[in-house]
Amino acid sequence: MPLSPAALPPLPPLPGTPAPVWPASTTLLSPGDPAVGGVGLAELADRFGTPVYVIDEAEVRARARAWRAALPDADVAYAGKAFLSRAMIRWVEEEGLLLDVCSAGELDLAAHAGFPAERIVLHGNAKSPADLRAALRLGVGRIVLDSAGEVARLAALVPAGTRQRVLLRVVPGVAAGAHAAVRTGVEGQKFGLPVAGGEAEEAVARILGQPRLELTGLHCHLGSQITSTGPYVDAVRRLVDVLARIRDHHGVTFPELDLGGGFGIAYREGESALDPVAYATRVTAELALRCAHADLPVPRLTVEPGRWIAGPAGVALYRVVAVKHTGARTFVAVDGGMSDNPRPALYGVRYTVRLVGRAPAQPTRPVTVVGRHCEAGDVLAEGVELPRDVRPGDVLAVPASGAYQVSMASAYNLVGRPPVVAVADGRARLLVRRETPADLRSRDVGE
């Protein structure tokens, strides 16, 4: 059953204030011994081994409710690529969210978890025939078309006498996102069809000519780790112009507009995060104003928070393996790294790191926390302050680790992926078990 409102953490801070990097349930059991969800982090490291990922269920639910409260007349779809498990699927369903998936594998997990197919949105710039067939077989609510060629491919798979509701992903030409690799609202990248040049409107005409497809609206996604509302307001302005041109050329108006996600969170103390209330206030006002000027009905809005919901709810725990002094630098090596968190290597992301399980006996100094893998780029955090007496066997905690870490993990160096543990009301339970050498061997079918 859903947790009661009284058991949930408070909503995020007002815009313009630093956002917390730890779950709201974080407390100190004793000096140097923090707990999340009422369970000590050092205890979790001992019980489940390291590396291990801890997810605070109450934080997930509170963050889902924050978006629902900010946008009560919109659809909120959890972006499952951030982190997906059967428990997470159940939590977001109980909180009234839709589910956004990107593959037949994610669809399969959602189906096994009992998530209503009509509340699922399927994305992807290169959806395979298997992806599309799975979506049609299960009856997903929306399929987001990403290219002109995909229009005919999907229409050919839709059973005769039925219609599949679709959205068209367009590129509004708005640059946003914390890293060039995740800026997807501008021309020149692999997603969607550009508004500039007319490709998007040509695709609209193709979809309208397919009797087995029902085009219900437009979709866009600007990028990731966006902490201000300005880019979304710019996107609304450009997309309403497109909607008006489609109305004028084809005589149709669409009931839906999906603005995607990409909502930023804080990874280090003092960083800001996007505020749902500020987003809702500015975006819905701009949408209503622009539609009024264009004499268009206001479409129903959909947003897709993923990182914003899962990220701050997660804490990664590692155990120190070695401490090395090289010249003026100190390296603290841990028993995980880029196999469970490739984001620092991919995007240069750096995290907060804290010693847990004991009170430090010495002051801090800047160190570089590195992983165990045979790559010079396997760095988890650079220039973080850790006690001078940090030593092998110590447990380090990395907050804001609930999104795009386990979901992007690999078995590099044949290091199995870590387990995921949920905490709530002073109890911990295993959601995803650790990947074992036997699991890895089972895929190797021999010579």
Per DSSP, the three-state class of 320 is strand
Instruction: Please tell me the distance from the alpha carbon of residue 321 to that of residue 404, in angstroms, as a whole number.
Output: 24
Cα(44)–Cα(31) distance, integer angstroms:
17
Q: Ramachandran region of residue 54, left (φ > 0), alpha (ψ -120 to 50) or beta?
A: beta
Q: Is 102 a catalytic residue?
A: no
Distance CA 49, CA 44 (A): 8
Q: Residue type at 101?
A: V
For residue 381, give every residue at least 6 positions away whose Cβ sits within 8 Å of its Cβ, in sequence order, or none.
344, 350, 351, 352, 353, 368, 369, 398
In the three-class reduction of DSSP (H, G, I as helix; E, B as strand; rest coil), residue 437 is classed as helix
Neighbour-count burial for 394-421, b at 16+ CB within 10 Å, e otherwise? bbbbbbbbbbbbbbbbeebeebbbbbbb
State the DSSP string of 89-107.
HHHHHHTT-EEEE-SHHHH
Hey, is 321 helix, strand or coil? Answer: strand
Nearest Cα neighbor of 307 from 348, 264, 345 is: 264
The two tokens of residue 72 are 């009560």
Distances (CA, A) of 230 to 34, 226, 305, 417: 37, 10, 17, 38
DSSP labels for 26-38? -EEEETTEEEETT
- The two structure tokens encoding residue 285: 């006002």
Cβ atoms 243, 216 nearer than 8 A? no
Spell out the alpha helix ranges (H) of 174-219.
199-208
Amino acid at 341: N
Q: Which position among 102, 220, 291, 374 bears the catalytic label?
A: 374
Backbone angles phi, psi at 23, to 5 degrees: -55, 150
**Which active-site residues does the annotation give?**
374
